[in-house]
Amino acid sequence: MRLSKSQGILPLAHAVLAAAIAYSTAATAADYRLEAEDFTNVGGTYNDGQPQKISVYTVNGITAINYVNKGDYAEYTLSVPQAGQYDLTYFAGTAIDGARIDFQVNNNGSWQTLARTDVPNAGWDNFQPLPAGSIHLSSGSQQIRLFGGGDHDWQWNLDKMELAYIDDSSSSSGGGSTSSSSSGGSSSSSGSGSSSSGGSPEEGGHVSGTFKLEAESAHHVGGEIDTYAINGGVAVNYFNSGDYLEYNLHLDQSGLYRPKYYVSTAHSSGVAVGLMATDHEGALVTKNTSEVQSQGGWDSFYLLNAASDINLFSGDLTIRIYGAGTQDFQFNIDYVIFERISDVDLDLDGDSDGIADVNDSCPGTDPSETANSEGCAPSQLDTDKDGIADNRDQCPTTAPGDFVDSEGCASTGADDDDLDGIANQEDQCPDTPFGENVAPSGCTGFEDSDSDGIANGTDQCPSTPAKEFTNESGCSPSQVANPHSVKVTVNANIKHSVKGISDFGRNRHITAHTTIYEKDWEGHADKLNYLVNTLDVTLGRDNGTATWKFQDTKEDPNRENWPDLDYMVTRGKELRENYEANPFYKRFSADRTELIAGTNPHPTYPTLSWNANGSTWHDWQPMHIETSAAWMGQYLKHYYANSSNGYIGDPMPKFWEVINEPDMEMKTGKFMVTNQEAIWEYHNLVAQEIRSKLGNEAPLIGGMTWGQHDFYRRDGISRYADNAYDQWIVADDPAEEAAAEEFFRQAMATTVDDTRDQNWYQWDVMWKGFMDAAGHNMDFYSVHVYDWPGVNSDAKSTLRRNGHLPAMLDMIEWYDVYQNGQANRKPIVISEYGAVQGGWNTLAHQPRFESEVLKSFNAMLMQILERPDYVIKSMPFTPAKPLWGYYPGGCGYEEVRNCTAPYHYSLLIEPVLNSDNWQWSDYIKFYELWADIDGTRVDSVSSDPDVQVQSYVNNNELFIIINNLETVDTTIDLTVAGLNNAQLQNVELRNMHFDNNFDTQLERHHMKQMPTKVTLAADATLVLRYTLNSTIAINQSVDEKKYFGNSVSGGSVPHRISVAGGAKNLQVNNVSVPSGYAESQLRLTVALYPSQDDTPDSLLQIDTLTINGHTIETPIDWRGRKENSVERYFNTLEIPVPVDVLQKNNTISVDFRHNGELTVANLVIKEYTTTPVRH
């Protein structure tokens, strides 16, 4: 088997191609087919009460055997024409876990088991080909027995089995299967898929005395290595820094050994072989590193003595050989010899720190450091247990419980400790009390003639009227010519509920896309504390942990390309206990670490990638979605705390997203060989598997976290054709080549992608298709949504923070309710939102890259808060320190970083790239802006849809949040009613705006009287915090209800209509019309040809609208800015409707000015218990 390497094409891993051929040929290349019902004898237990041990039945035109119980068997006579190796395939089905077929052959009167094959739980009558590995059969008449060998009382049904001749050798040709083991013990594919003529011990094999390990016969591999023929043998090449070969052996007798490597390199420096081995306590530790010298090129091998002798101890022994140098490319290696010199030397000191290895608590001490009596140097110690090693700790006696900075000194982690708007390094008065205005020095007591909070020396408008907040220059709205004004009214005594939900939901929405256990926070405990405990931010989201824990999972020794579920029990317990033993994690309350978790496509999903990202560290990979689903259920049960393990370890995630943004990798150069239907079915299998393992302790399960979110568009990503991989697959046998090609084609084949290049594909197929196929198994729908700012300016931005996000949610909600009813509507989790721009990836960081994101954070959060009953969790995309995204790829984790661009979307940044001087990015200002906001939502309205407003009462405080979707400074005329007799003590203004250099400014001012006017700058967000002398009495309410319209198309799929050609009739029925004061709104979700809004001649206008025959005046200004670079104007148009025109059943006629599509028509009614104040 080979793959063309011409033109830089990556090599195909032997295991993937072998598996492809095994699966492709299992059902097509049988030399011998045996129908299950053609048995010569049956026997067993009669456990099921049937008249004979095994019965015959017919289903779907197939005759098969059933009622096979544990211990039952069927016997057959085979006439084997030719002795040799045969591939065995069953067509079996079962609906239980714990079913296994044992293939036995009668050997001189005793039954010898040749293969044991687990039958996956896929249904009793689902007879899919089940490869069972290869077996050796002698020629002539053979008696065989198929035995129910599993641990469940019920076992399997069987249609037939097939045998395909391989060769006359006594061992397998190398083609593997997913579910087999030989009678000779467990097998494991090597890292390279081949072995040299000398061979190496099998995994778990015994070694004694001097022994040799062939590089190409490693039991497990880390990294993306390859093999090649050299000097009549086989060696390993493409060995990079960090790659490793691992061997799992059993050493019969302890001894002192001298390792010798047969290696080569073309580098003159920066190349070293690292050696790890289990010590006397069974821990895998570093033994030594040995520099490799070039002998003239990659193929000039020489025998290199290791830097030191080592002790190897009897019993289970793991040996790991890794690339330990600084060069990307390290060495080629042929073999390693471990020469036994003598018995164990208990005085051996491998790291030369003066402490014998058997007494050394810290092996691998740096030679430049001095170790203590336990063998530990300062870099290996943390005496005050603050997370900073002693050699870097500038404050070595930190008090227990203190959070420290990167130097080990106690710190608040904040840039502005007293939250007065002046950064710590500029603040000459660092302890300013809350409620005081300060000068640029950070101190109070300055001259301020007009009492506007701006010092005379910097006040450009020295006669500010009372009750008007000023901007940063000291000028109030009446002193500047703002081009626009908007009325905002708040009724603080009227609770605003949607389906009974009225709370702010701080732990649901003030969240960060990071976790307490990420390595990103090492050295920044003070900042993590500030984020979580001071600013009251809830963490987080995590896909990476499942990725590395999948990579860490060993292969089932009896079933190729299947996880070792027993290993997962043991490994999960180990990792949970490690988590439980970490005192740092206990310093954060459980309600602050409510997790959204899930997996990335590689390698958890069967992407079939033959690159390193497709495989585990143990050199196996899933080939079918059933494999990955089985792993997922086992993972959640055994790697997270639950009742089955005494609630020890990592807290169970509250939300589980099945797979993250598969559309960004499916059928692309990122090598994800799959199709839409497989991904949908994968969601079903994962949900079923997790619930079967955890029952009512299972997390809420959801999808689909598509990376694309323009419902009206075609597929926005170029994808490979089904036969794209044919060009890379080359085999000596044409039949094998054709079989492998067909395997990959079938994995890509789909029945739903014919409309990929047509509008509405992203809704019709990606979203609606998913909801139809897997929605019934989801607890929630998971949404990602991003703005795409222009690369160099905001003029070419594609914005979804306008009405786009409401339109998405309205479409998902309407279709869910239409299909399943309001009682079964699934909630939404928005697990990523913000702004991204691929054109920034290779650019140096700029302030604008942060300010554009902050605009999106604020605007999208304001829209999310409008749906407290529907969006049950939201999370801005705020990774902590994402070195994984630094450019060029992989540079972030190099020992000496030489990156050319950072990942621009992060909480922590380096002002100087590659300096390791980590500081808060402007993202922290988002959390400072929203700090302390909590409480009950109360009634608030804006006279302009481009000015968003939300308000909340929390005891004696009122919070009003106002956001500007437009790019013009706006005067806010503010009216606050319903405070009753509570007396005002202070109003704090937090003003996030963006200067001409795109820097984000967060300013704070205070006022002791009720403000009536404030300037809302372009794209800005204001928080007004009113503090009163007593609790604000909420004694009235408004109840918001949504009434879902009929299908706009009359019920025909896809439930949308063209708006061209005159008025369209719509229906919203079963409306409960209030008798008292109420306000209502018609919501029309559309995709129109783009134009500017807020102008009389706009193409986005409605020419006429009637409801039940009454003409309704329609706005000309819709939610969102005028300028937006989009293919279609995708928005939910919000139209005020007088309640007195509504009936139980409502007929709506709407005539749009121009062309496009209409998808949803709903009515929203707010019913009040009192008449609110309206400005």
Residues designated catalytic: 661, 832
C-alpha span between 285 and 310 (Å, rounded): 11
C-alpha span between 61 and 796 (Å, rounded): 61
C-alpha span between 951 and 238 (Å, rounded): 60
Contacts within 8 Å (CB) and 24+ apart, 473-477:
474/450, 475/1015, 476/452, 476/1013, 476/1015, 477/971, 477/972, 477/1013, 477/1014, 477/1015
Radius of gyration, alpha carbons of the chain: 34
Burial of 915 (0-12, 13-18, 19+ CB in 10 A): exposed
Q: By the 8 A CB rule, do 320 and 333 touch?
A: no
- Tell me the residue type at 1168: Y
For residue 1122, give the nearest of 488, 483, 487 by alpha carbon. 483
Q: By the 8 A CB rule, do 553 and 631 touch?
A: yes
For residue 513, give the nearest of 937, 885, 888, 964 by alpha carbon. 885
C-alpha span between 668 and 601 (Å, rounded): 13
The count of other CB atoms within 10 Å of the CB of residue 113 is: 15
Handedness of CA 42, 44, 49, 54 (dihedral sign): negative
C-alpha span between 907 and 877 (Å, rounded): 10
The two three-digit tokens of residue 505, written as one number: 């939901």
The count of other CB atoms within 10 Å of the CB of residue 537 is: 24
**What's the DSSP call for residue 455?**
-
For residue 626, give the nearest of 148, 21, 125, 119 by alpha carbon. 119
Which residues on adjacent β-strands are paired with residue 288? 275
Pairing state between β 484-498 and 511-512: unpaired
Contacts of 203 (CB under 8 A, 6+ apart): 186, 187, 188, 219, 247, 248, 249, 557
The two three-digit tokens of residue 1081, written as one number: 């709104």
C-alpha span between 1110 and 1130 (Å, rounded): 27
Q: Kindly report the backbone phi and psi dihedral angles of residue 52, in degrees, each rounded to the nearest multiple of 5, phi listed first.
A: -135, 165
C-alpha span between 608 and 16 (Å, rounded): 7
Contacts within 8 Å (CB) and 24+ apart, 624-629:
624/178, 625/678, 625/681, 625/682, 625/685, 626/120, 626/122, 626/685, 627/178, 627/561, 627/562, 627/563, 628/604, 628/682, 628/686, 629/682, 629/685, 629/686, 629/688, 629/689
The two three-digit tokens of residue 50, written as one number: 């049937």
C-alpha span between 398 and 546 (Å, rounded): 34
In which residue are the tokens 């380096």 written? Answer: 910
What SS3 class is residue 9?
coil
